[in-house]
Every structure is written in structure tokens, then in C-alpha cells.
Amino acid sequence: MIKNKKVTPESTKKPKMVIEINNLSKGFDDMQVLKKLSLKLYDGENLVVLGKSGSGKSVLIKCIVRLLNPDQGTIMVLGENVSELKSKKLARLREKIGFLFQSGALYDSMTIKENLEFPLRRIKKKLSKKERDKKIEETLEHVGLADTLHKMPSELSGGMRKRASLARTIVVDPMIMLYDEPTTGLDPVTSGGISALINDVQKKYLTSSIIITHDIECARATADRIIMLKDGEIYMEGNIDDFENSTDEVIQSFFKQKA
């Protein structure tokens, strides 16, 4: 692993840790996807995880919310060991984590309003209907989709679906955001818009985020710190300048290819 100077959001302050992963291993059949991986996410930080397809990026964040069970290692999220949580406690922890899926994963039998209402009804149970409607309208306005309230997901473009999906994730005020390839399949202009939105969300909702991507522009726009995965292990850690100035062949080939 190539390790550059330790980069934390505000290294002088001793930032609070929100996610701590130690020796995480995960495999499928004969293939080992993650190999004793360790990483930390600090409060208020945008951590970008770069890597080629199949390097284990998505598996990593799916393990964090326990959509996949790790074979080995510990994952501490907001001070709780995810692997040891019973279903009720896990559900409560998941309420604090927003997960933006690669495909958007909007419920296609529901309108955009119903999509946002779905988690809101279950997580913010105390909100009245009026408060719920107001919250939905505000969130959709924030992502620039105020006029799509009664539209079906199939009526939206790819970029709009990503925004709607992001709105559904942030409507419940999560503390941690996990983005799985947020700009994949989008044109450069729309991708730029999504990257800006990720930064907006961090500022407005004070979230800590892990952004899984292989889009260098997205990494450049959003990253406080970058980790590059290769064959299930951390290959390099640093900020965008460290990566761009790196003379390592693998890093160079990745950055040149994507430039």
C-alpha cells in the first residue's frame, strides 16, 4: 500500500470517528473480494473510494449497512458493532445512514412523492401529514425536482432519477451518506450537477460520506480524502493532489485513462 501523509478534514482538531473498519474480509465462493481492509471515516468528511470494477467498492459499503455479512473483521458505525446488532438495533442504526444505490432503486410502482413518503412515514413517525408534505416539498426543491412530485420514476431522466433517489435518502436527515457510483451512466454535465449536490448535502445536513466511484471528476469535486482499492486491498490513500502527482504506474494509468 502506498501511504501518503495522513489526511483528515481538520487534522489539528482530533475529529470524531463515525465509521471504523478493521480487517474486513469478504468473499463469494472461491473469490476473495475484500482482504483484511481497514479504514476510518471522520465526522463531516467526504471519503472517496476509487477503484476499478470488481475491486470490492460496492461490497464494502454494503457490508457497512449489513446488506452483506462480512466473513471476518469488525465494522463500527457510530460506536456500534454492525455485525453484532440484533435486527431492531440494526434498523435503528440504518435510520441514521443514507444509502444512494447505483441504480437509484426508486420504487417504480410509487410516485416520487410516495417514494419520499415511504421512509419518512417509517423513520420520522411523529411528523404530521402536513409536516411530512412540507418536508418532502423542501427536499425535492433542494435537489431541483420541485415539479416532479406526482410523477412516476419511469417519467424521469437518468439524472433526475438519481436526484430523486438522493432526495429520498436525505429526507430522513441521515448522519452518514453512502453513495454507490452516484455519477455512473450520466453525461459529464449531469455528473457535475450530482457532484455539486453531494457537496451541498454535506454542507446542509452536516453528513459524513463515503463516495464509491470510478469517476475522477466526481472524486476531484467531492473528496476530502481518497482511498484507492485494488484487488480488495487499499492500494493508496491520500488527497486528490497526492493521487494526481503520484508516479505509481497503476495510479497513473487509472487517472490517465479517466482523464
Partner 1 sequence: MSINTLVVKQQVIKLSEKTIEKTKEANVFFSGIGDFFLFLWKTTRETFSLNFEFNEFLRQCFQIGYKTLPLISVTGLIMGLVLTIQSRPVLVDFGAVSMLPGMVSLSIIREMGPVITALICAGKIGSGIGAELGSMKVSEQIDAMEVSSTHPIRFLVVTRVLAATLMIPVLVLYADALGILGSWAGANIKGSVSFVLFFNQAFRVVDFMDFLPAVIKTFFFGAVIGLVGCYKGYSAGHGTESVGKAANSAVVLASLLVIIVDLIAVQITDMLL
Is 235:226 a contact under the CB 8 Å cutoff?
no
Q: How many CA atoms lie within 13 A of 176 on its CB side?
A: 24
Residue 65: CB minimum distance to partner 1, A = 5
Q: How many CA atoms lie within 13 A of 137 on its CB side?
A: 6
Q: Is the dihedral of CA 7, 200, 98, 26 positive or negative?
A: negative
94 near partner 1 (CB under 8 A): yes
Residue 64: CB minimum distance to partner 1, A = 10
91 near partner 1 (CB under 8 A): yes
Closer residue to partner 1, CB minimum distance, 106 or 136 = 106
179 near partner 1 (CB under 8 A): no
74 near partner 1 (CB under 8 A): no
How far is the CA of 178 from the CAs of 2, 195, 198, 252, 254, in angstroms? 25, 13, 11, 26, 23
Helices 158-170 and 112-123, axial angle in degrees (round to 10): 20
Please select the residue that binds partner 1; options are 1, 67, 146, 196, rule is CB under 8 A: 67
Looking at 3-11, 42-50, 92-100, 198-206, which segment touches partner 1 (CB under 8 A)? 92-100
Q: Rule CB under 8 A: which residues touch partner 1? A: 62, 65, 67, 87, 91-92, 94-95, 97, 99, 101-103, 105-109, 118-119, 122-123, 168, 172
